Chains A and B, each alone.
Chain A
Amino acid sequence: MSERPPMSDLNGPQGLNLADMPLMPRASLRTLRVPLASPVPATDRVPLAPPVLPLHHEYALAEPVAPHTLAHSNFSSTTATRQILAAHFVRKSYRKGAIIIPVLQGVELTINEGEFVSIIGPSGCGKTTLLHLLATLDAPDSGEICFEGNRIDNVPSAGRDILRNRYFGMVFQFYHLLPELTTLENVLAPAMIGESVLGYMRRRAAYRERAREMLELVGLGHRLRHKPRELSGGEMQRTAIARALVARPRVLLADEPTGNLDKHTGEEIMAILRRLNREQNLTIVMVTHDARIAAEADRTVTLVDGRVVAA
């Protein structure tokens, strides 16, 4: 799980390259199937790749770096636990007619590689907005979003598309599967989006294999040809997780992944997320309003009225 395509890939819609993203070794897949109680020894973990150098010239900063980011002590510190995703003094407000509703009022957040962070807070505190900003689905009014030390909130839309396609996996409360596609096709969607028609057709077999592995990973190997409406809520959410993982993202961003599920199914989903975090060292940022669910993460960030409250 180490070699990543360099960030310069963000520059253009080049194909997802399997050579850059080797399929998961069989052995590790098998280990994933063993009961959760037996964690993979730490020595099995692939050492983290050296930090990919930010290629800022690819994305010339649109605006001068705000002074507060320079003042920030943690910024660009590449210590043993490397920062993967960070929000620096992010503000976001929505406008409803003449009324401006401030949602985020200077959020400061850093997420380290391999961390399982849950963002918790009451409804309307801006959790989901923060997640959308982290996923570059939306742009902050001010402040910065950084991914592996590179500012990403101001890159051109083509670059953000690639980021979302390859570096972030997203899971939503309402699953958000495409109703016209089968489970397998839904999982393949990111690959189809990231690849040209020809490129996809050439590597189709590999992608399908990868998607099938991901579906097996979430325990849906037997429902490849079912349409989302034929699945239960838990199954849909597991499909969504498989879809989020198919492109080997660096970060999984989950927006209330259990919010629409009953307690038992929610626990299943949480178990999968925990296992992914532990066994694949996947960085997970999860938004939830449920303190019980949030407690399963390594770290909990509490958001109140658009600000991070010290835990």
Chain B
Amino acid sequence: MYKLLLCWRYLRTRYIALASIISVMLGVATMIVVNAVMEGFTHEMRDRIHGILSDLVFESQSLDGFPDADRRMQEIRKVAGDYIAGMSPTVHIPAMLGYSVGSQYITKQIMLIGVDQTTYSSVSDFGQFLQHPENRKQLDFNLRPSGYDVYDHQATDPDKLQPRSDMQAAGWEYRKRKAKFMQHVEVPKGALEGNPFQPAAPAAVNAPPGEPASAGGGTVFDPGKEQFTGCVLGIGLCAYRTLEGADGFLALPGDDVEISYPTAAKPPKVQSNKFTVVDFYESKMNEYDSNFVFVPITELQRIRGMIDPTTGIANCNAIQIRLKQGVDLNMVRDLLRSKFPPQIFKVSTWQDKEGALIAAVNLETRLLNVLLFLIITVAGFGILAIFFMIVVEKTRDIGILKSLGASGRGILGIFLGYGLSLGIVGATVGLVLGLVFIRYINHIADFVGWVTGQPVFDPSIYYFQKIPTIVHWPTVAWIVAGAMMIAILASILPARRAARLHPVEALRYE
């Protein structure tokens, strides 16, 4: 009983000891915050990567792929049909994107992805990342008249949302207006007869079959009425951030872009085609947003020459597979790996694909934890030093307690209990501090940014509007328990010293 009472009294009267646990408190708070932010980032990242990639990717070793996706899909279904929720064939090709902004011609390196617009949304969250509400329901590679999102529909923090005023214009209206300013000069019929530099018919090659490409009369492509094959650009390929922090766009849905890609010939030749931007893809993962361009798979197969001219069977180089809820990815992957020759087919989960990135983040988290726990350990040495001081200061009281019949173990108990209660106080205050910090982390980041004039968290880098945090309670429990453990460990030595004090010498101590 006296142990509890004295612990309590010491706790309330020794402010120096409370000062020693401030470091414990800060360590705990920092660890909790860091873990929450890292967990938030990891979760957000995994979520997005998983949304972008399908669960399983069944791909060929060669970019030119394998023929007859339907037959492969049937084979896959035969092997693992019970676990599969959806499949979609795709073609992935490295390519170059080029578009004009004023007199400047901008080129970018891209990953050109041919997708099946009817099935692709069933294997990934592709649809959710588009900017037109109708396209989010069902992707259409035809340009929409208007109605593209001016406000980011994925934004989680509406207060700080800046309108993308450029998007207001996007659509057919914009295309028509632009076409008016860039009217082609009509060449009188027969004027170029015999001219060796006469250009080939410009657009008829890849005007979509449904469009009345030649309806406008002759071979002239009228951009005011027609579009090229639609493509969905990763938003990072043409977005920039204005000084006010809003998004500006170098190209809009309605603009035409040129894509240069390797053909399926041996050796590959470079070939270019014009496409009309019909939407933007914004997954908030910069790596993907500034890399991906989606086009209809049938068109890509056609222009690359991936269709066998005799049979009409097209090649694709990957099949995206989405599994049913709760199915073990690795199990299905291994199942497929065992049934298809690895020399030709590569089967990987989305985690395998991004394994290095996730592992890097995990390693970072682990390293930070080790370093921060070292901080708490250093705080433990602070407690050790202050406890030795307190034991010296309390020598006489220890003598008194012993003269009243307190055992050595009782004295040990007082100081261990004191250490524990300091640990509890430090860890609890640290816990509360950490949780409050997490709760208001974005306000704090804004405030620090305002004070220093340097934004702490630049959303243009991360494409997150705010810092994501997830409090993982088992981790928090470990941190708190660890801090208490350190406090107890640090008090063991001084407590033992106190317990071993000779009562007479302790009583005589001045």
Binary contact track B10-32/A, C-beta < 8 Å → 1, others 0: 10010000000000000000000
Cβ of A200 and Cβ of B1 under 8 Å apart? Answer: yes
Q: Is A149 an interface residue (CB 8 A)?
A: no
Best-buried of B5, B396, B405, B407 by chain A (most CB within 10 Å): B405
Name the CB-closest residue of B to A194: B405
Given A172-B507, A178-B6, A193-B410, answer yes or no on A164-B404 (Cβ-Cβ < 8 Å): yes
Q: Does A135 contact B (CB under 8 A)?
A: yes
Contact B507 A195 (CB under 8 A): no
Within 8 A of A (CB), among B32-76: none
Q: What chain B residues lie within 8 Å of A197 (beta carbons)?
A: 1, 4
Most-contacted residue by chain A among B396, B403, B406 (CB, 10 A): B403
Shortest CB distance B206–A (Å)? 86
Contact B403 A135 (CB under 8 A): yes
Alpha-carbon gap, A177 to B397, bound state (A): 8
Residues of A within 8 A of B503 (CB): 132, 137-138
Question: What's the Cα separation between A200 and B403 when bound, in Å?
Answer: 20
Chain B 394-435 residues near chain A, CB threshold 8 A? 396-397, 399-408, 410
Residues in B with CB closer than 8 Å to A193 are: 1-2, 401, 404-406, 410
- Chain B residue numbers with a CB within 8 Å of A132 are 503-504
**Which A residues are in CB contact (< 8 Å) with B5?**
181, 185, 192
Q: Identify the closest chain A residue to B407 (Cβ).
A: A161
For chain B residues 459-510, which have a beta carbon within 8 Å of chain A? 502-504, 507
Question: Is A158 located at the chain interface by the 8 A CB criterion?
Answer: yes
* Interface residues of B, Cβ cutoff 8 Å to A: 1-2, 4-6, 9-10, 13, 396-397, 399-408, 410, 502-504, 507
In the bound complex, residues from chain A placing their C-beta under 8 Å from that of B400 are 176-178
Question: Please, how many angstroms separate the alpha-carbon atoms of A179 and B410 in the complex?
Answer: 18
Instruction: State A164–B400 Cα separation when bound (angstroms).
Output: 11
Interfacial residues of chain A within 167-223, with CB under 8 A of chain B in the complex: 170, 172, 176-181, 185, 189-190, 192-197, 200-201
Query: 5 A–B contact pairs at CB < 8 A?
Result: A161-B402, A172-B403, A180-B9, A185-B5, A193-B401
Q: How far is the CA of A194 from the CA of B13 in the complex (A)?
A: 25
Q: A162 at the A/B interface (Cβ < 8 Å)?
A: yes
A177–B507 Cα distance when bound, in Å, is 11
Q: Which residues of A contact B (CB under 8 A)?
A: 13, 132, 135, 137-138, 157-158, 161-166, 170, 172, 176-181, 185, 189-190, 192-197, 200-201, 243
Contact of A176 among B403, B406, B502 (CB under 8 A): B403
Contacts of B410 in A (CB 8 A): 193
Chain B residues with Cβ under 8 A from A157's Cβ?
Answer: 407-408
- B397/A164 in contact, CB under 8 A: no
Q: What B residues does A172 contact at CB under 8 A?
A: 403, 507
* Complex CA–CA separation, A193 to B409 (angstroms): 11
| A-B Cβ contacts below 8 A, count | 76
Which residues in B have their C-beta under 8 angstroms from that of A138? 502-504
Apart from the given pairs A172-B507, A176-B396, A179-B397, 19 other A-B contacts in the complex at a CB distance below 8 Å: A132-B504, A137-B402, A137-B507, A162-B405, A163-B405, A164-B403, A165-B404, A165-B406, A170-B403, A170-B404, A172-B403, A176-B399, A180-B6, A180-B397, A189-B401, A190-B405, A192-B1, A193-B404, A193-B410
Let me know if A161 and B4 touch, CB within 8 A: no
Measured CB to CB, the closest approach of chain B to A217, in angstroms, equals 19
Partner of A161, one of B2, B6, B406: B406
Q: Please give, as numbers and ranges, the residues of chain A lying within 8 Å of B9 by CB-CB distance.
A: 180-181
Known A137-B503, A178-B400, A180-B10: A195·B1 in contact at CB below 8 Å: yes
Report how far A13 CA is from B404 CA in the complex, Å. 14
Determine which residue in A162, A179, A180, A194 has the highest number of CB atoms from chain B within 10 A of its CB, and name it: A180
Q: Which 8 A-B pairs have the closest CB atoms?
A: A165-B405, A180-B9, A192-B2, A192-B1, A164-B405, A200-B1, A176-B400, A137-B503
User: How far in angstroms is the closest Cβ of chain B from A54?
Assistant: 21
User: Residues of B contacting A162 with CB < 8 Å?
Assistant: 405
Question: Majority SS of interface residues in chain B?
Answer: helix
A88 to B408, CA, bound (A): 28
**A165, A170, A176 — which one has the most chain B CB atoms within 10 A of its CB?**
A176
Question: Chain B contacts of A161 at CB under 8 A?
Answer: 402, 405-407
Q: How far is the CA of A197 from the CA of B414 in the complex (A)?
A: 13
User: Given the complex, which residues of A lie within 8 Å of B402, measured CB to CB?
Assistant: 137, 161, 164
Residues in A neighbouring B10, C-beta threshold 8 A: 180
Q: Which of B399, B407, B507 contacts A13 (CB 8 A)?
A: B407
In the assembled complex, how far is the CB of residue B347 from the closest CB belonging to chain A, in whole angstroms? Answer: 63
| Nearest Cβ on chain B to A156's Cβ, whole angstroms | 10
Q: Which residues of B contact A176 (CB under 8 A)?
A: 396, 399-400, 403, 507
Q: Are A178 and B397 in contact (CB under 8 A)?
A: yes
In whole angstroms, what is the CA distance A118 to B400 when docked? 22
> What is the CA–CA distance of A180 and B12 in the complex, to the nearest angstrom?
10
Nearest residue, chain B, Cβ from A162: B405
Closest Cβ neighbor of B408 among chain A residues: A157
User: Does A189 lie within 8 Å of B403, measured CB to CB?
Assistant: no
Question: With a CB–CB cut-off of 8 A, which chain A residues contact B408?
Answer: 157
Interface pair A166/B504, CB less than 8 Å apart: no
From B13, B396, B404, contact of A190 by CB (8 A): B404
A196–B3 Cα gap in the complex (Å)?
10
A189 and B396 contacting across the interface, CB-CB below 8 Å: no
Separation of A176 and B13 alpha carbons in the complex (Å): 19
Chain A residues within an 8 Å CB radius of B6? 178, 180-181
> Taking the nearest CB of chain A, how far is it from the CB of B444, in angstroms?
39
Instruction: Name which residue of chain B comes closest to A199, CB basis.
Output: B1
Give chain A nearest CB distance to B2 CB in angstroms: 4
Assembly CA distance A70 to B4 (angstroms): 46
**Which of B10, B400, B503 has the most CB atoms of chain A within a 10 A radius of its CB?**
B400
Q: Contacts of A179 on B, CB cut-off 8 Å?
A: 397
CA distance A297 to B406 in the complex (A): 30
Q: Smallest CB–CB gap between A190 and chain B, Å?
A: 5
List A contacts of B397 (CB < 8 A): 178-180
Give Cα distance in the complex from A135 to B399, angstroms. 13
Is the pair A201, B405 in contact by a Cβ cutoff of 8 Å?
A: no
Q: Is the CB of B504 within 8 A of A189?
A: no
Q: Which residues of B contact A200 (CB under 8 A)?
A: 1
A181 to B2, CA, bound (A): 10
Cβ-defined contact, A201 with B406, below 8 A: no
B405-A166 in contact (CB<8A): yes
Task: State how many angstroms separate the Cβ of B394 from the closest Cβ of chain A.
Answer: 9
Using Cβ atoms and an 8 Å threshold, which residues of chain A touch B406?
A: 161, 165, 193
Whether the Cβ atoms of B507 and A189 lie closer than 8 Å is no
- What distance in Å separates the Cβ of A233 from its nearest Cβ neighbour in chain B? 17
Which of B4, B399, B407, B410 counts the most A-chain CB atoms under 10 A from its CB? B407
Q: Bound complex: CA of A185 vs CA of B9, how far in Å?
A: 11
Min distance, Cβ B110 to any Cβ of chain A, angstroms: 72
Q: Are B407 and A189 in contact (CB under 8 A)?
A: no
CB closest chain-A residue, reference B399: A176
Across the two chains, which residue of chain B brings its CB closest to A129?
B504
B contact residues around A181 at 8 Å (CB): 5-6, 9
Check B1–A201 contact: CB distance below 8 A: yes
In the complex, which residue of chain B has the Cβ closest to the Cβ of A244?
Answer: B404
